[in-house]
């Protein structure tokens, strides 16, 4: 079921990483963080992600345990819809993890995994309209946490 | 320090094992007891249910759904409305006249010129032939009379039509079944086609077959219709459900029921 990142996307990722580095050199131009820009693979916030809070989010409001077995033993009944995430920090780089969480449909259009940093989806219940599941900082925190799963 | 680390690791390993070892209800497709609940690759929700839940369904005395069957049976012969008529006055013995009826709904109704669920058809009889008020969605009598009628087809294979005047409804149903919705941005087909047999936390996903509705759900602590369950699936993915009796809900029920064609009517089934 899991499709590896295609070469096109991987090289796009590389281009983005390079572009981000170039941008870091000229601080006047902050990275474009608009939703449909590929540069969403760049950090979504200036504040580095907090892996401790990332774990809390992954186990809680991120609902990651619905579908993934994770090294979070204090909670029972992890789902098995997606791959196990132990070791994911060795398999994927932070920009790849970020894209995975922000909008996994870019990589696999048929994935059941939610797009955690996307608003205005189809027929969202009134209570949740206008929000994404996670905030930009929460995405960064989860990316930081997954990065520790070597 | 080392000891606590060891203990923590052991606990983690034990919990890790507990995490993966989600004991699923036993299911052997070759078990003759399962034959009534499978049709080719199609599996009734019964085959995904715990043995205790199956046993509860199998025995008419422990199956709480039969309280609704009994109520519906009384309603069948009770005159109501301005015309002073009961269901029985037009349809006679339900055990004969209603046999098979539960296998073909939702169905195109030439009289109404549209697709109707069984519950909507019953309400049509009430307003147009009995001069009585409609039963309110999910009310006790609404569920009771529908369960009684559907139960007359118990054991018969589901056989909804999808051609002729139904075709456009069926196409719309398929489109909605494959459409992502809600904050989870997921479609019916993800959970019930792609992921059936897998787990989302404690939920073992079934193929989403509606052949047991109206059915008693332990979580609801009551009996409800397929429409109610479909609206529940909307809630589960944080989507705005379509209004009760909307065309969208009816065509979704049609598509989901067509997927169950060949599976036998289990109404009133019992599920988790």
Place of tokens 């796009």: A12
Strand partners of residue B224: B215
Q: How many domains does chain A have?
A: 1
What is the average per-residue pLDDT within B93-102? 98
Contact list in A for residue B190 (CB cut-off 8 A) is 112
Mark whether B188 is an active-site residue.
Answer: no
Residues B47 and B108 in one domain: no
Band of residue B22 on the pLDDT scale cut at 50, 70, 90: low
The verdict on A121 touching B (C-beta cutoff 8 Å) is yes
Asked if residue B218 and residue B97 are part of one domain, the reply reads no
B249 contact residues in A (CB cutoff 8 A):
none
Q: How far is A50 from chain B (nearest CA, A)?
A: 23
CA dist., res. B176 & res. B69, Å (int): 32
* A10 domain residue, yes or no: no
Say if A11 falls within a structural domain: no
B191 touches chain A (CB under 8 A): yes
Q: Which of B18, B183, B200 sits opposite A124 (nearest CB)?
A: B183
Select from B123, B151, B179 the last residue of a domain: B151
Place of tokens 């923590």: B8
Q: Give the separation between CA A128 and CA B181, rounded to whole angstroms.
A: 12
Residue B255 sits in a domain of what CATH number?
A: 1.10.760.10
3-class DSSP string for chain B: CHHHHHHHHHHHHHHHHHHHCCCCCCCCCCCHHHHHHEECCEECHHHHCCHHHHHHHHCCCCCCCHHHHHHHHHHHCCCECCCCECHHHHHCCHHHHCCCHHHCCCEEECCCCEEECHHHHHHHHHHHHHCCCCCCCCCHHHHHHHHHHHHCCCCCECCCCCCHHHHHHHHHHHHHHCCCECCCCECHHHHHHHCCCCEECCEECCCCCCCCCCEEECCCCEEECHHHHHHHHHHHCCECCCCCCCHHHHHHHHHHHHHCCCCECCCCCEEC
Q: Does B238 sit within 8 Å of A128, measured CB to CB?
A: yes
Closest-CA residue of B relative to A129 is B183
B15-42 exposure pattern, b = at least 16 Cβ within 10 A, e = fewer: bbeebeebeeeeeeeeeeebeebbbeeb
For an interface test with B, which of A61, A63, A65, A80 has the most B Cβ atoms less than 10 Å from its Cβ? A80
CB contact under 8 A, A123 and B200: no
| B138 and B262, same domain (yes or no) | no
Q: Are residues B75 and B58 in the same domain?
A: no
* Residue, of B127 and A20, whose pLDDT is higher: B127
Among candidates B20, B181, B240 on the partner chain, residue whose Cβ is nearest the Cβ of A69: B20
Distance CA B69, CA B95 (A): 12
Which of B181, B197, B200 is most worth mutating to test chain A (most A CB atoms within 10 A of its CB)?
A: B200
Question: Contact A124/B15, CB-based, under 8 Å?
Answer: no
pLDDT score of A120: 87
Q: Which of B125, B151, B177 is the last residue of a domain?
A: B151
| Chain A environment of B186 (Cβ under 8 Å) | 112, 114
Where in the sequence is the domain holding B180, given as residue range(s)? 26-62+161-271
Q: Residue A99 maps to which CATH number?
A: 1.10.760.10
Residues B92, B134: one domain? yes
Task: List residues bridging with B222 in a β-sheet.
Answer: B217
**Residues 73 through 92 of chain B touching chain A, CB cutoff 8 Å:** none
pLDDT in tens, A7-64: 444 444 444 444 444 444 444 444 444 444 555 688 999 999 999 999 999 999 999 9
Q: Is residue B6 part of a domain?
A: no
Total domains, chain B: 2
Closest residue to B239, CB basis, from A71, A73, A123: A123
Encoded tokens for B108 = 């195109």
Residues of B with Cβ-Cβ distance to A135 under 8 angstroms: none
B57 and B167 housed in the same domain: yes
Name B38's bridge partners: B43
**Residue A21: inside a domain:** no
Q: Is the pTM of this model over 0.80?
A: yes
Does any CB of chain A come closer than 8 Å to the CB of residue B201?
yes
The two beta strands, B215-217 and B270-271, are parallel
B165 and B55 both lie in a single domain = yes
Q: In chain B, which residue's Cα lies nearest the Cα of A114?
A: B184
Average pLDDT, chain A: 82
Q: Do residues B187 and B107 share a domain?
A: no
SS3 A124: strand
Residue-number span of the structural domain to which A103 is assigned? 35-148
Task: Give the pLDDT confidence of B239-261 residue by residue, as tens digits.
Answer: 999 999 999 999 999 999 999 99
Per-residue pLDDT reduced to its tens digit, B28-74: 999 999 999 999 999 999 999 999 999 999 999 999 999 999 999 99
A27 in any annotated domain = no
Task: Give me the interface pTM, i.e. the ipTM.
Answer: 0.88
Task: State the DSSP code for A128.
Answer: G
């Amino acid at each position: 079921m899991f499709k590896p990142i295609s070469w096109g996307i991987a090289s796009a990722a590389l281009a983005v990483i390079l572009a981000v580095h170039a941008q870091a050199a000229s601080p006047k131009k902050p990275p474009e963080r608009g939703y449909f820009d590929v540069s969403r693979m760049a950090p979504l916030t200036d504040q580095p992600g907090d892996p401790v809070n990332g774990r809390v989010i992954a186990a809680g409001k991120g609902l990651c345990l619905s579908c993934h077995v994770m090294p979070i033993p204090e909670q029972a009944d992890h789902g098995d819809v997606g791959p196990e995430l132990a070791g994911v920090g060795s398999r994927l780089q932070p920009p790849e993890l970020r894209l995975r969480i922000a909008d996994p449909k870019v990589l696999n259009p048929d994935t059941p995994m939610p797009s955690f940093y996307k608003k205005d989806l189809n027929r969202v219940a009134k209570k949740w309209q206008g929000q994404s599941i996670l905030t930009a900082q929460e995405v960064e925190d989860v990316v930081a946490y997954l990065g520790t799963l070597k | 320090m080392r000891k606590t680390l060891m203990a923590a690791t052991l606990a983690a390993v034990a919990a890790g094992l507990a995490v993966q070892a989600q004991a699923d209800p036993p299911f052997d497709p070759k078990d003759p007891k399962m034959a009534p609940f499978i049709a080719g690759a199609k599996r009734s929700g019964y085959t995904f249910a715990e043995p205790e839940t199956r046993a509860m369904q199998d025995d008419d005395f422990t199956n709480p759904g039969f309280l609704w069957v009994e109520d519906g049976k009384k309603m069948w012969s009770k005159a109501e409305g301005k015309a002073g008529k009961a269901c029985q006055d037009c349809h006679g013995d339900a055990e004969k006249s209603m046999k098979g009826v539960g296998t073909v709904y939702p169905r195109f109704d030439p009289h109404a010129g549209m697709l109707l669920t069984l519950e909507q058809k019953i309400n049509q009889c009430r307003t147009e032939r009995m001069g009585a008020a409609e039963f309110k969605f999910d009310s006790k009598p609404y569920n009771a009379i529908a369960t009684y009628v559907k139960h007359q087809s118990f054991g018969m294979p589901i056989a909804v039509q999808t051609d002729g005047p139904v075709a456009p409804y069926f196409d719309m149903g398929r489109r909605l079944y494959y459409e992502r919705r809600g904050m989870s941005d997921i479609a019916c087909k993800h959970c019930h086609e792609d992921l059936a047999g897998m787990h989302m936390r404690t939920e073992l996903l079934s193929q989403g077959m509606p052949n047991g509705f109206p059915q008693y759900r332990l979580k609801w602590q009551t009996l409800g219709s397929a429409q109610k369950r479909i609206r529940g699936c909307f809630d589960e993915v944080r989507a705005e459900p379509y209004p009760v009796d909307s065309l969208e809900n009816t065509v979704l029920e049609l598509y989901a029921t067509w997927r169950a064609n060949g599976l036998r009517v289990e109404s009133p089934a019992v599920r988790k």
